[in-house]
Structures are given as structure tokens and as C-alpha cells.
Amino acid sequence: MPVIRECYAALPETPVYPTEQGGRTHNKILMGTWAGVVEDNGGERVKVSTAGRDGWVYRDALKDQMDLKVFFVDVGQGDGLLLESPGLRMLVDGGPNQQLLRYLKGYQYRYLLGNPGFIQFDLMVVSHFDADHYKGLTAVLNDPLCRVDSLIHNGIARFSTRRASRPAGHDTDLGQRRDDHLVTSFSDIDDARALLAGGGLQRTFEQFLRAAVNAHSEGRLGAMRRVDHRTGRLLQQQGLSVDILGPVTEDIAGSTGFRWLGGSSHTRNGHSVVLRVDYKRPATQGHTLLLGGDLNHEAQTLLMAHYHPDNPFRVDVCKACHHGSADFSVGFLQQVLPYATVISSGDNESYAHPRAEALGCAGRYSRGEQPLVFSTELARSVSSGGDVLYGMINCRSDGRTLMFSQMKERNSGADIWDSYVVQRQD
């Protein structure tokens, strides 16, 4: 049946009934889920095509606007996130594998593959070049069905760990170091081409750059560039704004410098791109989200000092930095003080993520009587055969209601969601 009207679910869990008269609920769709009206007889319910089983929904349980949807996709040990808001599709990191791409093509945007025949993303963000954050994005860039308008990253490249293999002057595997700073000039597609020509790159990073350059040549990638705290507001549209809070860089003799944070791994993690997302503020109270890649203790201290006495880190929802590692600053958590924290991490890894003190502090340094701490590892189902719908943490906001949901490991009929509505207390 053709869709008469595009609508979206308005209730945290909107019931879908088998007949126009009602009957026993046979599906529930989360707030903001697309529901295309296919039959409207003027009654109190209309028939919709939607996620899961189609059926009849109360007319007043539907709305015209999609609002904000954040999907923390379970990519195992890594981060992979999809953010949708009216007129915007954005990926922030892509995990170490093809899980994100599987989700995008197999579920979320399967309907686009027939018509128009491709999936368009407005923005792709690489928080930093560690495989658990960007290797899955190489798969997206290599996929002929995916297009990306703009790709942003932190500008810290990866070179061979063997000094003899690296280009001249590259005294670390992240590039040139001057005193206690790493300096870089890596930003756009031309820089990517130059890096590929210069050789000596770390293999996974080389594959990513090649994918970006190829996608650009084939017209599937618009622009690529480095961002930092000076970028400020990255975009603003239809109630949503994205600001770049980090990395904080310095001008070192005409080059961009990153404070050396004690080691290669600490330096590249600590200078992750830090995004703050604001939705429908201040029109309604709105909601805010902080995504900080793999920030560590030193980096959080540096960020707080840079912004002092301001605190742009206070948000409603926070992705736990570095998969729930123990390398965090309590002072930073006290500044963020979210209602809900989402931890993205894997099983069968040697880091023991999420660490017990990270879980404890996520709860302790939160707002509200009943703070929420979500974990992709807890949401995952071992019996689902790796189905990417399990393990995903869904976050939705219409500017007034902020909700989270994860799929139950076992459903009974239409009762498939484990949902939470945040009670605002400020």
C-alpha cells in the first residue's frame, strides 16, 4: 500500500494493534520511529507501515516530526554511533568490524537501497585513528552504496611503529614531535594523498586513507578536514547544533600542535574529537549529549583547564570515554554530571572494560535520584547469534521527553523493549 502521510511514533513505546478496532497489541515502536500512514478511514486509529509488524495506531500517538534519535550500535570493543535528527544523518566512529555497516544496510536504511539506491550521510566523524573507532568506517567508505558529504577527524595520523619505515623527521608513530608537542598538517584529501605517496603508514590507517581518497574520486565523499576546539560550532539546523570542544590544540611555530600526553597511545586517545550535541535548546528545555571518544585522565584535565571557569561539558547524556576504562578524572565526571551514561565495549577482551570503578563513578557522578548507566555488553544477547539489534542502546528525545531503550533478550509477544524515561530534576 502506498504511504499517504509520513509520521513518527509520539509515545515512548507506541502500541500497534492488529485491527482498526484494536485487539491485543502486536508491536510496540519507540518514540521517533518512522510510521508511514497507509490507510486512514477518519477513525481514532490509522494503519501504518513501520518497524516490525505493521498495524493500527491511535492517531494522537503519531506526530509529523522525527526528532532526535541516537543509536549506540553494538560494535563489540569499540564505538559506533548513528545520530539522526530532522535533515541530518551522522556517524560518529564505526567500530573495529562490519557490525555498523551491517546494521545500516541490513536494518536502518535497507529501504533506501531500492530507491534511491544509496545511503547518504551528511557527516562522518572519526574521533581518533584507533582501529576500534575507525576500521568499520573504512568499510562504509568502501561501500559503493554509501555516500558521505563531509568527513572530520582529529588530524593525528598513524605511521609505522618501526622508525626505519617512517618518513624522515617522523620521530614517533604519530608524526613529528617538537619538545612536548606533536605537530601535524594532516587535514584534507590532498593531505591524505600526500601521506599515501610518502609511505610508512600504519596498515589499517593506510587502508582508511585509500578508502577516503577512492570515495572522493568516485564522488561518494565530499570533503574531509581536521577539526579542533577552534572549529567551534560545526553545524546548526532544525533545532540541532553540534559543537567541537576538543581536541584543544596549540600553535607551534605555524603548525598545529597537540600536547604530548606521555605516550603514543595516550596522546592519540587523549586528543579525540569531543562533540557536544544540543537538541531543541533553549526553545523547550531540550537535551544535550557529549561524545568524547577515548579521552583519558590527562586529556580531561587539559580540557577542563582550557575552558575554566566555564563548563561546556555539563550534559544530559554522556558516552563513557574509552569504553569504561579506569583512566578518567573524577573532576571531569563531576563537570559532566549526566542523567544517563552509555558504555560501549566488548566481550572477550583483555582490558576488562567496563572497569568496576568506571561503572561506580558513572552512577555516583550523575544527576537525579536514579541515574542510568547503560552498557552494550549487558544489552547484548549471547543467544541472538550476533544480531546487531541486541546490544544497541537507543536514545530518543523530542526536546521534552528523553528516553532510552534496549531490546529484551527474550520477548513475550509485543513486549520487546526495556525502556526508561529520564525524570529531569533541574
CB-nearer residue toward Zn ion: 286 or 292? 292
**How big is the site for Zn ion, counted in residues (CB under 5 A)?**
2
Q: Which segment (116-124, 178-186, 210-218, 294-302) binds Zn ion by CB under 5 A?
A: 294-302
Stretch that binds Zn ion, among 9-17, 128-136, 359-367, 402-410 (CB under 5 A): 128-136
Sign of CA dihedral 101, 219, 187, 90: negative
CA–CA dist 383, 414 (Å, integer): 19
132 scored as a contact of Zn ion (CB under 5 A): yes
Contact yes or no for 206/212 (Cβ under 8 A): no
- How many whole angstroms separate alpha carbon 243 and alpha carbon 231? 8
Task: Decide: helix, strand or coil at residue 408.
Answer: strand
Q: Closer CB to Zn ion, residue 77 or residue 366?
A: 77
Q: Which of 74, 173, 191, 294 binds Zn ion (CB under 5 A)?
A: 294
CB of 322 to Zn ion, least distance (A): 6
| Interface with Zn ion, residue 327, by CB under 5 A | no
C-alpha cell at 390: 541486541
HSE of 255, CA atoms in CB hemisphere, 13 A: 15
In the complex, least distance from residue 130 CB atom to Zn ion, rounded to whole angstroms: 5
Dist. CA 376–CA 72, nearest whole Å: 8
Of the listed pieces 95-103, 124-132, 279-287, 367-375, which binds Zn ion according to CB under 5 A? 124-132
> Is the CB of 294 or the CB of 398 nearer to Zn ion?
294
Q: Whole-number minimum distance, CB 293 to Zn ion, in Å?
A: 7
Q: How far is the CB of 287 from Zn ion (least distance, A)?
A: 25
Instruction: Specify the residue, 278 or 294, whose C-beta has the smaller distance to Zn ion.
Output: 294
Find, among 74, 30, 70, 72, the residue nearest to 391 by Cα.
Answer: 74
Least separation in angstroms between residue 321's CB and Zn ion is 9
Q: Of 296 and 366, which CB lies nearer to Zn ion in the complex structure?
A: 296
Is residue 173 within 8 Å of residue 166, measured between CB atoms? yes
Query: Which residue, 366, 372, 399, 426, is CA-closest to 287?
Result: 399
336 vs 343 by CB, closer to Zn ion:
343
In this structure, are residues 90 and 124 in contact, taking their beta carbons and an 8 Å threshold?
yes
Q: Which residues bind Zn ion (CB under 5 A)?
A: 132, 294
